């Protein structure tokens, strides 16, 4: 008690004589001009506005004002049944109706007035923890909201960067696993470099009662979530949310900025764009960038900013390069670049030829040897054809012409072969693709173009027709030439 | 106290110890470890009676007809928020979104306490509700049964239907009680004394003395997401809140017919 009294009487004296000058001194050192941008002085707060919020893959327009302001942000939480994959539905819990939640874009030192509304039909209370908030819980406690209610708090966006926000209501893991996350961008007060296109992509892992692709409304599976064994790993809340008609679109020559988040709840993403090298990556959504990056890690509950220029046209594929997630669990998106392709940057395929290490038709014959003379009669033709067959055909159709059931059609007593000689010539000349029925069995694979000359084609077909109970017709080079000409 | 109880029961014509009203089920007391608490300190639950069904729209309509101050347009904002009975067609009209035999929802804690007091019942305590809700059709305690938990969790993961089902179509448990799970959330008398704060992750480090329940703050079974969600839901409420999926049912001490708060 006595010490308390003493403190109380001494305090004002201390404040006026000792503490205040010290505080003033301390402040003057903190605001020294050499300190990082986060603490450097800014122009005063001025005006107010309502934030423009967007659904993925769209991003709100860049901030053009040169001063901080009061920004109003309102987000409504809804629990909705939506498509996870074709034929597969899931009850998503959302910040604004879809996964990921609304993209929020503010400027450093803005004061954000944040209202969280929980739709009356929600079954759960929800809240929001914005990683852009400096303060306990990131706003979680201040926004704990029962169904049919709304809460409000405000914060000053002290640090620039790209931040995840998410729900932090118990059980936290389940709220996040159901899709409760999104991104908030705090632009540095210097602003960001202008780019032509900006996109919003967030990866998330999902745990369903059924396996990947199992149709119907799927429930959340807690055991799989705890075991960190997801059925789905997707961009923007669904398989195919960035493919087909929904692919991201840009043009050659444009600069692209991807705001990439990872909601988790469990997996770390090895984010990569197939066929593109990131010119700049702001790792973990921070202020410093690395250059010329192929694949960048996006932590669960973290982000990254990737920038690159589109130098050539085509489809560039966004993946989590933990690659089974891309091809078997859904983590795949497409950025389509239209315009003129630069052939020097990328030529496209120039050739596709059969590669046979031990000979084959594509080998050019050395100039000091002579080409074999044309066959003079059917016997010579069959003999020559046997060799052509051995080099080019036997690998698939087998040396005895039996083929491989289910993969390569038989040539023995082949109804397909005997029905139409010209069709057979065409197949050898140009290859064959798609379904064919041979002796009652269906085959659906590819026969490559072999690049044989007319003489070789005539010889090999004459050989095939003369053996294995086939029709025995002789195919002449002239007939081959005719079929070849017909195609042109 | 005893005499008072006796008088009260005689006056109201209600039962003495041992006799169970037809609309209620007897749940034998025992010990249980709540979701939040120390395993070394199981909580004792006395034998109690609980309504077999949640209170329905028709029943609540009869109550507000008799007690106009609990009608939608008369109720004070301190006692019920704007959503109070807002799915009804009018003060004394149910309408298509409130089937007579479906559980009444959008009712505040104050309103349901008034309803129950009027019929000499009370709200179940959180311990009682949780204790009874461990039951499935064949076991009094199915709380470790993964099938049981998965079913509850599935319901929690789905949005509420616009029209709730008839209470007589709900699943019956071993006590003869229907709809503790899979229908609506239900009020308990001490809904706001638990330990889930807004920021759920800090709960395990909070000063336990901060909480009037006096228990521990660690979850005893971190995998029991279903229980997590109930505690989280309750902790988001205030006494005047109403939601589209929050209803109630009555309870009573087994040995005493006098309602205790």
Q: Could you tell me the residue ranges of all domains in chain B?
A: 2-253
Architecture of domain B2-253: Alpha-Beta Complex (3.90)
Considering only CB atoms, A141 lies closest to which of B158, B197, B232, namely B197
Q: Does A266 lie in the same domain as A383?
A: no
Q: Is residue A27 part of a domain?
A: no
User: Of A286, A308, A338, which residue constitutes the final position of a domain?
Assistant: A338
Q: Mean pLDDT score of chain A, rounded to an integer? A: 86
Q: Does A200 lie in the same domain as A64?
A: yes
CB atoms within 10 A of CB A425: 22
Q: Is residue A117 part of a domain?
A: yes
Which chain B positions have a beta carbon within 8 Å of A220's beta carbon? Answer: 153-154, 157
Q: Does A385 lie in the same domain as A333?
A: no
pLDDT tens for each residue of A136-156:
889 888 898 999 999 999 999
CATH of the domain at A249: 2.60.40.420
SS3 content of chain B, % helix, strand, coil (to 5): 30, 10, 60
pLDDT surpassing 90 at residue A107:
yes
User: Of A279, A312, A338, which residue constitutes the final position of a domain?
Assistant: A338
pLDDT surpassing 60 at residue B218:
no
Among A159-168, A270-279, A423-432, B221-230, name the one with the lowest average pLDDT. Answer: B221-230
Q: Is residue A104 part of a domain?
A: yes
Look at residues A194, A190, A201 and name the one whose alpha carbon lies nearest to residue A309. A194
Q: Which domain holds residue A314?
A: 48-338
Q: Does A402 lie in the same domain as A266?
A: no
How confident is the model at residue B45, as a pLDDT? 92
The most confident of the ranges A63-67, A425-429, A437-441, B4-8 is A63-67
pLDDT tens for each residue of B130-175:
999 999 999 998 888 888 888 888 887 777 788 899 999 988 999 9
pLDDT tens for each residue of A69-90:
999 999 999 999 999 998 889 9
Considering only CB atoms, B159 lies closest to which of A91, A145, A170, namely A91
Among A258-267, A404-413, B94-103, name the one with the lowest average pLDDT. Answer: A404-413
Q: Is residue A358 part of a domain?
A: no
Q: Is residue A261 part of a domain?
A: yes
Q: Does A402 lie in the same domain as A327?
A: no
pLDDT surpassing 70 at residue B46:
yes
Considering only CB atoms, B244 lies closest to which of A80, A147, A174, namely A147
How confident is the model at residue B158, as a pLDDT? 74
Q: Does A84 touch chain B (CB under 8 A)?
A: no
pLDDT surpassing 90 at residue A112:
yes
CB pair distance less than 8 Å for A137 and B199: yes
In this structure, is the dihedral angle defined by the CA atoms of residues A183, A184, A188 and A192, taken in order, positive or negative? Answer: positive
CB pair distance less than 8 Å for A171 and B245: no
Q: Is residue A296 part of a domain?
A: yes
Q: Does A164 lie in the same domain as A264?
A: yes
Domain count, chain A: 2
How confident is the model at residue B222, as a pLDDT? 58
CA-nearest residue of chain A to B221? A171
Q: Does A397 lie in the same domain as A330?
A: no
Shortest Cα distance, chain B CAs vs residue A176, angstroms: 13
Q: Does A120 touch chain B (CB under 8 A)?
A: yes
CA-nearest residue of chain B to A127? B198
CB pair distance less than 8 Å for B198 and A137: yes
**CB contact residues (below 8 A), chain A span 249-308, against chain B:** none
Shortest Cα distance, chain A CAs vs residue B10, angstroms: 42
Q: Does A454 lie in the same domain as A333?
A: no
As a three-state string, the secondary structure of A16-38 is HHHHHHHHHHHHHHHCCCCCCCC
Higher pLDDT, A310 or B224: A310
Which chain B positions have a beta carbon within 8 Å of A91's beta carbon? Answer: 157-159
Mean pLDDT value across residues B169-192: 91
- Whether residue A222 contacts residue B153, with contact meaning beta carbons closer than 8 Å, is answered with yes
Q: Does A411 lie in the same domain as A334?
A: no
Q: Does A223 lie in the same domain as A95?
A: yes
User: Of A306, A338, A370, which residue constitutes the final position of a domain?
Assistant: A338
CATH of the domain at A402: 1.10.760.10
Model ipTM value: 0.72
Q: Does A189 lie in the same domain as A80?
A: yes
Q: Does A324 lie in the same domain as A240?
A: yes
| Interatomic CA distance for residues A236 and A267, integer angstroms | 15
Asked whether the bond before A265 is cis by omega within 30 degrees of 0, the reply is: yes
């Amino acid at each position: 008690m006595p010490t308390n009294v003493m403190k109380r009487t001494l305090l004002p004296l201390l404040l006026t004589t000792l503490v205040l000058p010290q505080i003033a001194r301390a402040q003057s050192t903190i605001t020294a001009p050499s300190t990082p941008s986060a603490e450097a002085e800014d122009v005063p707060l001025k005006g107010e506005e309502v934030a423009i919020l967007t659904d993925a893959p769209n991003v709100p327009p860049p901030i053009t004002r040169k001063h901080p302001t009061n920004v109003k942000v309102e987000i409504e939480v809804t629990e909705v049944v939506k498509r996870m994959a074709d034929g597969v539905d899931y009850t998503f819990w959302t910040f604004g109706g879809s996964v990921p939640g609304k993209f929020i874009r503010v400027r450093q030192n803005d004061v954000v007035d944040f209202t969280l509304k929980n739709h009356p039909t929600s079954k759960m209370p929800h809240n929001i923890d914005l990683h852009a908030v400096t303060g306990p819980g990131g706003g979680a406690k201040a926004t704990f909201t029962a169904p049919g209610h709304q809460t409000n708090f405000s914060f000053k966006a002290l640090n620039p960067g790209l931040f995840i926000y998410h729900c932090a209501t118990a059980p936290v893991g389940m709220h996040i696993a159901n899709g409760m996350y999104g991104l908030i961008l705090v632009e540095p007060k210097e602003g960001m470099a202008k780019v032509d296109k900006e996109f919003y992509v967030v990866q998330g892992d999902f745990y369903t009662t059924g396996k990947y692709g199992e149709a119907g409304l799927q429930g959340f599976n807690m055991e799989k979530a705890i075991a960190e064994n997801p059925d789905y790993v997707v961009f923007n809340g669904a398989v195919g949310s960035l493919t087909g008609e929904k692919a991201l679109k840009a043009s050659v020559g444009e600069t692209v900025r991807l705001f990439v988040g990872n909601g988790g709840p469990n997996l770390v993403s090895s984010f990569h764009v197939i066929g593109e090298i990131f010119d700049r990556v702001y790792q973990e959504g921070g202020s410093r960038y690395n250059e010329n990056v192929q694949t960048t890690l996006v932590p669960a509950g973290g982000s990254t900013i990737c920038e690159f220029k589109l130098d050539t046209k085509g489809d560039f594929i966004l993946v989590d390069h933990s690659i089974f997630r891309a091809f078997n669990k859904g983590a795949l998106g497409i950025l389509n670049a239209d315009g003129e392709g630069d052939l020097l940057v990328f030529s496209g395929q120039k050739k596709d030829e059969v590669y046979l290490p031990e000979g084959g038709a594509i080998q050019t014959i050395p100039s000091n040897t002579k080409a074999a003379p044309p066959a003079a009669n059917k016997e010579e033709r069959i003999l020559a054809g046997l060799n052509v067959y051995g080099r080019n055909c036997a690998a698939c159709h087998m040396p005895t012409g039996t083929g491989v059931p289910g993969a390569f059609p038989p040539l023995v007593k082949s109804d397909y072969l005997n029905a139409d000689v010209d069709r057979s010539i065409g197949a050898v000349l140009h290859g064959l693709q798609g379904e064919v029925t041979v002796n009652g069995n269906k085959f659906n694979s590819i026969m490559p173009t072999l690049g044989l000359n007319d003489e070789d084609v005539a010889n090999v077909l004459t050989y095939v027709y003369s053996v294995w109970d086939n029709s025995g017709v002789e195919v002449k080079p002239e007939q081959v030439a005719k079929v070849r000409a017909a195609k042109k | 106290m005893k005499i008072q109880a006796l008088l009260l029961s005689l006056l109201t014509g209600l039962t003495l110890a041992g006799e169970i009203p037809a609309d209620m089920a007897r749940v034998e007391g025992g010990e249980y470890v709540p979701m939040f608490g120390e395993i070394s300190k199981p909580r004792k639950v006395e034998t109690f009676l609980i309504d077999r069904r949640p209170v329905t729209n028709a029943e609540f309509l009869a109550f507000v007809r008799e007690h106009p101050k609990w009608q939608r347009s008369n109720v004070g904002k301190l006692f019920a928020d704007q959503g109070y009975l807002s799915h009804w067609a009018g003060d004394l009209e149910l309408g298509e979104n409130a089937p007579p035999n479906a559980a009444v929802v959008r009712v505040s804690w104050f309103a349901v306490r008034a309803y129950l007091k009027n019929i000499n019942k009370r709200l179940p305590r959180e311990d009682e509700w949780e204790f009874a809700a461990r039951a499935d059709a064949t076991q009094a305690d199915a709380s470790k049964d993964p099938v049981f938990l998965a079913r509850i969790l599935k319901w929690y993961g789905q949005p509420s239907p616009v029209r709730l089902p008839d209470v007589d179509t709900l699943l019956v448990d071993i006590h003869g009680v229907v709809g503790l799970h899979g229908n609506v959330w239900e009020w308990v008398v001490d809904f706001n004394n638990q330990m889930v704060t807004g920021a759920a992750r800090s709960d395990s480090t909070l000063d336990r003395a901060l909480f009037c329940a006096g228990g521990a703050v660690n979850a005893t079974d971190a995998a029991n997401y279903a229980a997590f969600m109930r505690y989280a839901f309750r902790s988001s409420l205030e006494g005047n809140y109403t939601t589209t999926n929050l209803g109630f049912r009555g309870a009573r001490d087994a040995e005493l017919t006098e309602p205790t708060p």
